[in-house]
Structure 1
Amino acid sequence: MYGLLELETDRFTLRKIEDGDLETLHSYWSDEVVTEYMNATFKSIEETQQMVELLNILPEIGEGRRWAIVDKRSGSVLGTCGYHNMKAEHRRAEIGFELGREYWGRGIMQEVMNIVIPHCFEDLGLNRIEAFVTVGNYRSLKALEKLGFKQEGVLREYEFTQGNFRDQVVLAILRSDWGNQI
């Protein structure tokens, strides 16, 4: 099993995505503003269900974990975050995250990723955490840079998403980078 089942910050709980989260996540994943830089905008609840099933199987196949971000006060699911494409032999993984747009700009991702990153380094023994950000997604770039990620380059036309080839900015943080921030 890869990673802890739940993580907590002062304001949020990171837990497994549950069936009861489908409607909320579908509202985010079908919002073209939220998904502008993601792989797809979902049209049906069935697509959301398939994605949740895929994300929830990641720990079983040793490739990562995705959590629902839950506000402790309201119990609302605000989005998801986690790691995937884990390569244990190379001690690296890729992170990903999204929030419903009504939660943007509130420091939520900074708070939750400040518990996910040390979990990856300390509990999973990773040495490198990568992120791939579609060119133009300045919010995600800024959030990652605040967390200590460094840009390493641009992969030209790296992904074919939403009907177009898109360039991806590669960022990474190393265990030694993280240790220097503490």
Structure 2
Amino acid sequence: MHLPVLSTGALVLRPIEEKDTAALFRHFSDDAVTQFMDIDSFTNISDAIQIIQFFRESLEKEEGMRWGITVAGSDELVGTCGFHKINKPHFKAEIGYDLRPLYWGQGIMKEAVSAMLAYGYDVLQFNRIEAFVDPANIASSKLLARLGFRHEGFLRDAFFEKGKFVDAEIYSLLRREHSRESIY
């Protein structure tokens, strides 16, 4: 599977590389970034090296793909987004995304995920894209609603993360509901 560079004009979504190790460490060592994620905040630079390897292996196995989000004109990562749990036989995948707090509330994630969704429907031919959200993560729920995702339900004790069971809300967007015109 190939991970292309996606450009929206204001943003560039690009493959994550070894040169991003320090930026990923800073990013994922911030508790505000990892608060609602299924990973612990990074405590060692080796955590960043391992996640880069994980992203690479997921792509090679065709199970997932993760982009680094950069603001056009700068190569510094401000966040990441991607597909995981790609299920080719069922034409679906799950999405995940994260952004440095300095960039929250600026529409960056809506723009990045919109580009990713267009690629998922137009190139990867997904029919269904899902997102699992911690009910306390109101910003993520609002983002998904703005992108046209439908709230499908509330899952009690759906995941075991950071030493405890956590609830999740599930959202989905079907190809026929996706309103953005193709950029491919």
Give the structure-1-normalised TM-score: 0.94
Residue 22 of structure 1 corresponds to: 21
Q: How does 1:49-128 map to 2 (within 5 A)?
A: 49-128=49-128
Residue 74 of structure 1 deviates from its aligned partner by 2.6
Query: Alignment RMSD, CA only?
Result: 1.3
Contact 1:135 1:166 in 2 (8 A): no
Which one-letter code corresponds to 2:59 in the other structure?
P
Q: 1:92-143 deviations in whole A, cap 9, x for unaligned?
A: 0000000111111110011111111011011011100000011200011111
Contact 1:16 1:56 in 2 (8 A): no
For 1:44 and 1:145, locate their aligned partners in 2 and report how far apart those are by CA, in whole Å: 35
Residue 7 of structure 1 corresponds to: 6
For 2:70 and 2:147, locate their aligned partners in 1 and report how far apart those are by CA, in whole Å: 21
For 1:105 and 1:25, locate their aligned partners in 2 and report how far apart those are by CA, in whole Å: 21
Residue 47 of structure 1 corresponds to: 47
Residue 7 of structure 1 deviates from its aligned partner by 0.8
Residue 165 of structure 1 deviates from its aligned partner by 0.8
Identity %: 38
Residue 85 of structure 1 deviates from its aligned partner by 0.2
For 1:70 and 1:56, locate their aligned partners in 2 and report how far apart those are by CA, in whole Å: 19
Aligned to 1:33, what secondary structure does the other structure show? helix
For 2:73 and 2:31, locate their aligned partners in 1 and report how far apart those are by CA, in whole Å: 28
Higher mean alpha-carbon deviation, 47-56 vs 77-86, is at 47-56
Contact 1:26 1:48 in 2 (8 A): yes
Q: How does 1:156-175 map to 2 (within 5 A)?
A: 156-175=156-175
Contact 1:9 1:111 in 2 (8 A): yes
Aligned to 1:5, what secondary structure does the other structure show? coil
Give the structure-2-normalised TM-score: 0.93
Aligned to 2:59, what secondary structure does the other structure show? coil
What are the ranges of 5 or more consecutive residues in structure 2 without an aligned counterpart? none
What is the number of equivalent residue pairs in this alignment? 180
Which one-letter code corresponds to 1:111 in the other structure?
E
Which one-letter code corresponds to 1:109 in the other structure?
M
Which one-letter code corresponds to 2:58 in the other structure?
L
What are the ranges of 5 or more consecutive residues in structure 1 without an aligned counterpart? none
Residue 89 of structure 1 deviates from its aligned partner by 0.1
Aligned to 1:136, what secondary structure does the other structure show? coil
Which one-letter code corresponds to 2:74 in the other structure?
S
Residue 42 of structure 1 deviates from its aligned partner by 1.6
For 1:49 and 1:98, locate their aligned partners in 2 and report how far apart those are by CA, in whole Å: 18
Contact 1:85 1:93 in 2 (8 A): yes
